[in-house]
Every structure is written in structure tokens, then in C-alpha cells.
Homo-oligomer: A and B are copies of this chain.
Amino acid sequence: MSVTIRDVAHASGVHVSTVSRTFSAPHLVNAETRTRVLAAAEKLDYRPNRAARSLKTGRTNNIGLIVADLANPFFPPLIKAAQAAARRQDYHLFVADTGEDPTEEENLVLAFSKQVDGIVLCSPRLSNKALEKLSERVSFVLVNRRIRGLTTVVMDVAHGARVAMEHLVRLGHRRVALVTGPAGSWTSGEIRKAVAEIPGLDTVVIGPNSPTEEGGIAAAAKVAEAGVTGVLAYNDLVAIGLIGGLEVLGVDVPGDVSVIGFDDSITGRLHRPKLTTVAMPASDAGRMAVDLLIQSMSATTVLETHLVVRESTAPPRQAP
């Protein structure tokens, strides 16, 4: 059927092992032989059978990437960067989507485990215990979740949240709402902790919420009732949903309430009013995660975040 190492061996008059070596350990074969083999391989259009290779070696040259929701604009840049990094080193990337469901997350990890050299797990919702257990079966890198002993790359959301809140304080806001994400979200927890430590700020926590536009819309009424003049939302989608919801309630952004998002996603960037948001280094995270995986390094990397001030924040209406 398809052309194998054996055909190449025949065509170039050497043993199969020599052909194998010209690909996987070129320095072990004579330069002249090597060119002869390569020529034959080229002529026959030979491509190694990866299944056979990984059966023998135990490695697959594949990586799995698992995210909560492919359609959430936060992830595509991360996936894109991860794919590019993988491809640069001759790895291929499986991508899957848990639909925010921890059980499905576990199933996916198990399903991938026999077929990849490692998994990049973004914003996992599984418990620490479950993740530690899984890490015995397959190596992985966690993104935006910190667990002792597991290699992780996290974005400094605490810093981002602090800077965002300081921005609101500087504008004159004194009472603000934190519109959080889903219950199990590590970043949501980090943000909450960071904000609690900020002095001179009265904070009301609204959540948990779905990390989508709908989540933001649903939270609008509570925000309006909370008597706040500023909001830090879990992500850009929530911020946008919230702005829309507030608009319906007759609350103007940024006139009556200032809103800050998280992510700096394309959807947020193109929204009007232009969203003030905490930029997350999603591309860097994707790239670093697969690089760490391929080098099978154990490390915990912290990536910086920064505030992008645009038009959804302003001083409160009756400034003190």
C-alpha cells in the first residue's frame, strides 16, 4: 500500500536499519550512504509511519490542549500560539473543549493520555487532588492554576486586579463590585483575594457567574442595586454583557458606572464603548506551556498582566 522504510531500503541497497538511522540518528551513517538513502526516500515520497514509531519508542510527538470553551475569545490566541510552538518542533496539537464540565475534563485527559506526550490544561476545574492523581498517568502543564509540584504557567491576575482597582480609586470611586466567574475558577479566587487587601475600597462580590455575555447580563440587576460606581468583571465577555444589561436598566457606562474587563480579547477591543481591561498574555502562555511540555521541564512561570485604559471607565458622576 503505502511506501515504507523497507521500500526505501530496497531502492537504495541498504538495510532497513540504515534507513531508520538516516532519519533518527543521521550522524551514525556515512554521508554518502545518507544522501543515497535520502534521494531514494525523496523519489518514493516516503513518510515515516508515526504509529509504528510511537509504538516502538513510546513517544508520540503529539500534545493535547484542553480548554473550557473554545468559543470564548480568550482561548483562540492561546491555542494559536500553542499550535505554532508545537509545530515549530514537529509536534501536532490535539484540541478539545470541556464545556466547563470537570467530569468531561477528566475524561478528556484520560482519553488523551495514551496518545500524547503531554497535555496543556487551561484553567482546569478539577480539584487539586484529582489533578495530582492524573499527573501520575500523563505529564501536563497547567495554565492559570497553581498547584505545588505541578508545572504551571500562570498570569499575574492578582497584580492586574490591583492595578485595575487602583485605577478606579484614582478616578474617585469608593464602592465597587467584583463580578466573579464560575465557582471553581482559580483566577476568580486570586482576584478576589487581591481585591480584599486593597485599602480604602468598599467591595461587594457578585457571583458566581457564567463566564459569558449571558453571565454579565444576568448580573446587571444586582450590580445596579448594589449602589456601586465601579465594576471589575471576570472577563471581557462578562463586562460586555454587563454593559448591555446596565444600558437596558438605564444605567450609563461609564457615566453612571465604570466597568473594567479582563483578557483584552479581540471582542473586547472592538466593542464600544472601548473597554478598559486587564490585558492577559494568552499567546505567551500558550507558547510557554507547550515549550515547557516539550522540554519536559518542571517550573512555575508567572506572566505579567497590565491595565489597558480605554473608554469604559471615568470618574464617578458626583465626584467628592
Q: Which residues in A have some Cβ–Cβ distance to B below 8 Å?
A: 1-2, 47-52, 54-55, 58, 60, 62, 69-71, 73, 75-77, 79-80, 83-84, 87, 92-97, 110-115, 213, 237, 240, 244, 266-267, 270-273
Contact = CB atoms under 8 A, between A and B. Distances in A.
Nearest to A72: B76
A73 B75 CA distance: 11
Nearest to A53: B51
Contacts of A267: 73, 266-267, 270
B83 A87 contact: no
B95 A50 contact: no
A83 B70 contact: yes
Contacts of A71: 76-77, 80, 266
A16 to B, nearest CB: 16
B92 A111 contact: yes
Nearest to A60: B51
A80 B51 contact: no
A171 to B, nearest CB: 23
Given A92-B115, A94-B92, A70 B60 contact: no
Contact of A271 (B54, B110, B272): B272
Contacts of A79: 70, 95
20 contacts: A1-B58, A47-B110, A47-B113, A49-B114, A70-B76, A70-B83, A71-B266, A73-B73, A73-B76, A73-B267, A80-B97, A83-B96, A92-B94, A94-B94, A266-B267, A267-B270, A270-B270, A271-B271, A271-B272, A272-B272
Contacts of A95: 79, 83, 93-95
Given A71-B266, A115-B92, A55 B47 contact: no
Contact of A92 (B69, B83, B112): B112
Nearest to A59: B51
Given A93-B95, A270-B270, 19 more contacts: A48-B114, A49-B55, A50-B115, A51-B51, A55-B55, A70-B76, A70-B79, A70-B80, A71-B80, A73-B76, A83-B96, A94-B95, A213-B266, A244-B270, A267-B267, A267-B270, A270-B271, A271-B272, A272-B273
A20 to B, nearest CB: 15
A82 to B, nearest CB: 10
A220 to B, nearest CB: 15
Contacts of A115: 50-51, 92
A240 B50 CA distance: 44
Contacts of A93: 94-96
A37 B287 CA distance: 43
A54 B62 CA distance: 15
A42 to B, nearest CB: 13
Nearest to A240: B270
A213 B267 CA distance: 11
Q: Which of A114, A213, A270 has the most CB of B within 10 A?
A: A270
Contacts of A1: 58
